Amino acid sequence: MAAQYSISGTSAKGISASVERGVAEGGLAPGDALPPVRRLAEELGVSPGTVATAYKELRGRGIVVTRGRGGTVVAQAPAVGSRRPPRVPAGVRDLAGGHPDPAFLPVLRPPARVEPVGGSHRASPRLAELEAVAREWCARDGVPDEHVTFAHGALDCVSRLLSAELRPGDAVAVEDPGFHHLLDLVPALGLRMVPVAVDAGGMRAEPLRAALRAGARAVVCSPRAQSPGSGCFSAERRGELLAVLRDFPDVLVVEDDHNADVSGVPLHSLASGGLPRWAHVRTVSKHLGIDLRWAALACDAKTLARHDGRMLLTSGWVSHVLQETVLRLMGDAGTRALVRRAEETYTKRREELVGQLGRRGIAAQGHSGLSVWVPVRDESAVVNGLRSHGWWVAAGARFRIAAGPGVRVTTAGLDVADAVRLASDFAEVLGESEATYGG
C-alpha cells in the first residue's frame, strides 16, 4: 500500500525522485495510489504546484498514470518475470515456442559484395526495388499501398507507432489472450492496457467498443494467426469491427499481420476499410527466417510521417544489407515455392491436431497460423502432465490479462503421427487432472 511508503522531498525533483526510489525498491507497487496533490503538499510543507509538477514529471516518464477520479497510481510494470517463457526441460519435445519448422526456411544469402557507403542512407532509407516489392505484397491482399515504409520487425514498428502517437498514461486496446511480447511492451512504454476479448474470429466488436469508450487511443490486433488463440477475421467480423471503429475516428488502429504468407487463410484487413488512422505491419521472420529483422509498414500519410520522423532520430534506416537479402529471397522462385509448401503443411498439421483432440472430446482453437490454443481449467496440471509424457507446451498465463486459462501448442513441426500421440496423451492428462484437481 502507498501509505506504507513515506514520500519525501521539498522540491518537485526531490518528490519525483522519492517516488521513483519507492517504485525501484518495492515500497510502491504497481497499482498503489499516490496521495492527492493537496494532501501530499500539506504533509511535505510545499505548494500544491510543486507536487503537481512532480506528478507530471513522473507521468512523463511512465512511472505513474492518472485515472481521472481514480487518482494517480503507480504504473503497471512490464510483467517480464511472468511472461518470459521458462527454460525448456531436457529430454522433452518443445511445442511451446511458436516458431516455424526450420525445414521450411530458406538458406539466407546476404549480398556477396557490399560497397562502402559514402555518408549515410538517411536521405534514401529504403531500397527502391524492395519498396516496390513491399507495395505489391500489401496490394496482393487488398491493403492500400500508397504509403509504405520499413522497420526492424513488428514489435519495433509497433513500439515506434505507439511512442509517436501516444503519451505515458494513455490507454491501448489489446487482444486478451494476446501476444505476450506486446503485453510486456505496452506497459514498458508507460501506457495502459485495456484487454479486449477474442474468439475464433479474433478481436470481438462489443468488447472493443467498451475499450474505446473507456478511453483507449490506439488498438493493436492481428487479422489472422492471432497469438495465442489462432483466430482470424472473417468478412463479417471485419465489418463489425469497422462499424465500431468508425465511431472513433481519432483512434490509431494497428494490424500485426506477422504470419502473412503462412497463415493458411485469406486476409480480411481493417486497413482497407477507409479508416482515417491505420497501420498494417507484416514481417518475414515466420516464413523466411528469424534473423531477418525487417518489417513492411503500410499506413495513412500522418502515421507514415510520424513513424519515419521518429526513426530518423534513432536508427535512421534499416540496414541496406538486410534489405538486399530480403529482396533476393522474396524474388527467388525456389523460395516462393518453399513458402507455399510451408503454408500447406502448417495448415494440415494444425488441422490434424485440432481434429485428433476433437475426437477425444477436447475443444481446441486452431483456425490459422502455427499454433493451437486449448482452454483448460488448470494450466500447471496440464503443462506438468504433458511434460511427464515428453511434451513441453506453453502455459497460457503469460498471454492473458483477464481471459480464462489455456495452453498453447505449436504445431509447425508436428506431423500426423505426433498429433495422434499428443492428443492421446492430452486426453490422459486431462483425465488425471480432473481426478486430482476437480477439473
Q: What is the pLDDT of residue 396?
A: 93
Mean pLDDT of 397-426: 95
Q: Which pTM does this prediction carry? A: 0.83
Place 2 in a pLDDT band, splitting at 50, 70 and 90: very low
Q: Is residue 280 scored above 80 in pLDDT?
A: yes
Q: What is the pLDDT of residue 20?
A: 84
Q: Which residues contact 326 (CB under 8 A, 6 or more apart)?
A: 130, 284, 288, 292, 294
Mean pLDDT of 30-50: 93
Q: What is the pLDDT of residue 434?
A: 58
Which DSSP string do the residues of 34-51 spell out, in sequence order?
PPPHHHHHHHHTS-HHHH
For residues 182 and 189, is the Cβ–Cβ distance under 8 A? no
Q: Is residue 336 scored above 80 in pLDDT?
A: yes
Q: What is the pLDDT of residue 17?
A: 87
Q: What is the pLDDT of residues 238-254, one digit of tens each?
A: 999 999 999 999 999 99
Mean pLDDT of 309-316: 93
Residue closest to 180 by CA, chosen among 281, 293, 81, 292: 81
Q: What is the pLDDT of residues 44-87, one digit of tens each?
A: 999 999 999 999 888 877 788 887 777 899 887 543 334 567 78
Please provide residue 135's backbone torsions phi and psi, each rounded to the nearest 5 degrees.
Answer: -60, -45
Q: What is the pLDDT of residue 439?
A: 43
For residues 196 and 211, is the Cβ–Cβ distance under 8 A? yes
For residue 264, give the DSSP letter: S
Maximum pairwise Cα distance, the chain? 73
Place 1 in a pLDDT band, splitting at 50, 70 and 90: very low
Q: Is residue 414 scored above 70 in pLDDT?
A: yes
CA dihedral over 235, 370, 252, 150, signed as positive or negative: negative
CB neighbours (10 Å) of residue 313?
A: 8
Q: Is residue 322 scored above 80 in pLDDT?
A: yes
Percent of the chain's residues with pLDDT above 70: 95
What cell was used for 185? 511492451
Q: What is the pLDDT of residue 362?
A: 97
Mean pLDDT of 406-418: 96
Q: What is the pLDDT of residue 27?
A: 86
Distances (CA, A) of 53 to 7, 45, 48, 60, 85: 15, 15, 9, 11, 39
Q: What is the pLDDT of residue 22?
A: 87
What cell was used for 273? 476499410
Q: What is the pLDDT of residue 238?
A: 98
Length of the chain: 439
Mean pLDDT of 160-184: 93
Mean pLDDT of 308-318: 94
Q: Is residue 333 scored above 90 in pLDDT?
A: yes
Q: What is the pLDDT of residues 185-228, one digit of tens each?
A: 998 888 889 999 999 999 999 999 999 999 999 999 999 999 99
Tell me the average pLDDT of the chain: 92
